[in-house]
Amino acid sequence: MAPRMTVVTLGVTELPRARAFYVEGLGFRASTASNEHITFLDAGGVVLSLYGRAALAEDACVPPGAGFGGIALAWNVASEAEVDASLARAVAAGARLLKPAQRVFWGGYSGYFADPDGHPWEVAFNPHWQLDADGGVVFPA
């Protein structure tokens, strides 16, 4: 079996705030398997999980850390207009705009927001990549 990334867990300081941002704010669907300690979101081909940051560090046996850890998430969309609309939606939901949408060196159009816990998300239109009917990236083999 080939290796996969099945889940990405974001450590959060206030789960209700994070859940509201992702579910009501951005429109992610939460699983009924979620409970008061963890929320599972359907992020396309992968599960996006929200869990207490201190508990996550403890579970992974790593020091709690602070700030940017060198991981950025991305949400590819189908047009420049969708980038603008998705960034605006995130900001309306309480995100902080890190980088306004702009034409970028690799030929696309993108901007970044930080979720309420500071996790950076790029929203991008990449004219070189194809999206499938569900909005997933067709892996450029």
Footprint of a second copy (CB under 8 A): 1-12, 26-29, 31-33, 40, 42-48, 53, 56-57, 59-78, 82, 86, 98-99, 112, 114, 117-120, 122, 128, 134-137, 139-141
Q: How far is the CB of 127 from a second copy (least distance, A)?
A: 13
16 versus 106: smaller Cβ distance to a second copy: 106
76 versus 109: smaller Cβ distance to a second copy: 76
What torsion, rounded to 10 degrees, do the Cα atoms 141, 71, 19, 123 define? Answer: -60
Q: How far is the CB of 102 from a second copy (least distance, A)?
A: 11
CA 5/CA 47 separation, integer angstroms: 9
4 versus 36: smaller Cβ distance to a second copy: 4
What torsion, rounded to 10 degrees, do the Cα atoms 14, 66, 96, 139 define? Answer: -100
Report the DSSP pairing between strands 47-52 and 96-103.
unpaired
Report the DSSP pairing between strands 47-52 and 7-12.
parallel
